[in-house]
Structure 1
Amino acid sequence: MTTMYDVIVIGGGPAGINAAIAAGRQQMKTLIIERYGFLGGMSTAALVYPWMTFHNSQGDQVIKGIAQEIVERLMEHGGSPGHLRDTIGFVYSVTPYHPEIYKVLAFEMLREANVDVLLHSYVDEVETDGDRIQSVSVTGKSGRRKLTAKVFIDSSGDADVAYLAGAPTVKGRESDNRTQPLTMKFRMRSVDTEKIKAYIKAHPEHFYEKTLVDRLDELPLTAVQGFYPQWEAANLPINRDQVLFFIGPEKDEVLVNMSRVQGYDGTKTEDLTLGEYEGRKQVLMIAEFLQKHIPGFEQASISNVGTQIGIRETRRIIGQYTLTKDDVVHARKFDDVIAKSGYPIDIHDPTKKGLQVAFVSGDGTFDIPYRCLVPQKISNLLAAGRCISTTHEAFATTRLTPSAMATGQAAGTAAALAIREGISPGEVNINVLQDQLRKDNVVL
Structure 2
Amino acid sequence: MKTIEADVVVIGGGPAGVNAAIAAGRGGAKTVLIEKYGFIGGMSTAALVYPWMTFHTVDGKQVIRGIAEEIVNRLQAAGASPGHQIDTVGFVKTITPYHPEHYKVLAVDMLREAGVKLILHSFVDQVRMAGNLIESVQLTSKSGRMEVQGKVFVDTSGDADVAYLAGAPVLKGRDGDRQMQPMTMKFRMRGVDLDRVKQYMLQHKDEFYAKTPWSELEQLPLTGVLGFYKHWREANLPINRDQVLFFTGPEKDEVLVNTTRVQGLDGTDVEDLTEAEQLGRKQVMQVAAFMTARLPGFENASISQVGAQIGVRETRRIDGVYSLQAEDVVSGRKFEDTIARSGYPIDIHDPSGKGVTAAWVKGDGAYDIPYRCLLPQEVTNLLMGGRCISTSHEALATTRLTPSCMATGQAAGTAAAIAVRQGISPAEVDAVELRNQLRTDGAIVD
Q: Unpaired runs of 5+ in structure 1?
A: none
Check if 1:140 corresponds to 2:141.
Answer: yes
In 2, the alpha carbon distance for the partners of 1:306 and 1:178 equals 24
In 2, the alpha carbon distance for the partners of 1:320 and 1:289 equals 47
Q: Unpaired runs of 5+ in structure 2?
A: none
Summarize the alignment of residues 146-165 of structure 1 with structure 2, pairs less than 5 Å apart: 146-165=147-166
CA contact (8 A) 1:200 1:213 kept: no
Displacement of 1:130: 0.8
Summarize the alignment of residues 384-403 of structure 1 with structure 2, pairs less than 5 Å apart: 384-403=385-404
Check if 1:340 corresponds to 2:303.
Answer: no
CA contact (8 A) 2:3 2:146 kept: no
TM-score with structure 2 setting the length? 0.99
In 1, the alpha carbon distance for the partners of 2:45 and 2:148 equals 26
In 2, the alpha carbon distance for the partners of 1:68 and 1:290 equals 34
In 2, the alpha carbon distance for the partners of 1:339 and 1:67 equals 12
Q: 1:190 — aligned with what? A: 191
In 2, the alpha carbon distance for the partners of 1:285 and 1:145 equals 42
CA contact (8 A) 1:14 1:41 kept: yes
In 1, the alpha carbon distance for the partners of 2:295 and 2:166 equals 49
Summarize the alignment of residues 315-394 of structure 1 with structure 2, pairs less than 5 Å apart: 315-394=316-395
Summarize the alignment of residues 240-279 of structure 1 with structure 2, pairs less than 5 Å apart: 240-279=241-280
Displacement of 1:2: 6.2
Q: 2:232 — aligned with what? A: 231
Q: Deviation digits for residues 279-332 of structure 1, max 9, x if unmatched?
A: 000000000100011000000000000000001000000111000000000011
Displacement of 1:78: 1.0
Q: 2:200 — aligned with what? A: 199
Q: 2:409 — aligned with what? A: 408
In 1, the alpha carbon distance for the partners of 2:377 and 2:3 equals 29
Equivalent position SS for 1:3: strand
Q: Point out 4+ residue stretches in structure 1 off by more than 6 angstroms.
A: none
Q: Deviation digits for residues 149-184 of structure 1, max 9, x if unmatched?
A: 000000000000000000000011111111100100
Check if 1:439 corresponds to 2:437.
Answer: no
Q: 2:127 — aligned with what? A: 126
In 2, the alpha carbon distance for the partners of 1:419 and 1:307 equals 36
In 2, the alpha carbon distance for the partners of 1:33 and 1:312 equals 21
Q: 1:312 — aligned with what? A: 313
In 1, the alpha carbon distance for the partners of 2:271 and 2:244 equals 29
In 2, the alpha carbon distance for the partners of 1:133 and 1:240 equals 43
Displacement of 1:203: 0.7
Summarize the alignment of residues 44-59 of structure 1 with structure 2, pairs less than 5 Å apart: 44-59=45-60
Equivalent position SS for 1:219: coil
Equivalent position SS for 1:157: coil
Q: 1:86 — aligned with what? A: 87
In 1, the alpha carbon distance for the partners of 2:214 and 2:296 equals 17
CA contact (8 A) 1:184 1:310 kept: yes
In 1, the alpha carbon distance for the partners of 2:10 and 2:148 equals 11
Aligned amino acid, residue 124 of structure 1: D
Aligned amino acid, residue 357 of structure 2: Q
Aligned amino acid, residue 21 of structure 1: I
Q: 1:60 — aligned with what? A: 61
In 2, the alpha carbon distance for the partners of 1:189 and 1:401 equals 24
Q: 1:217 — aligned with what? A: 218
Q: 2:22 — aligned with what? A: 21
Q: 1:283 — aligned with what? A: 284
Q: 1:38 — aligned with what? A: 39
In 2, the alpha carbon distance for the partners of 1:173 and 1:217 equals 41
CA contact (8 A) 2:3 2:147 kept: no
Displacement of 1:217: 2.1
Equivalent position SS for 1:368: strand
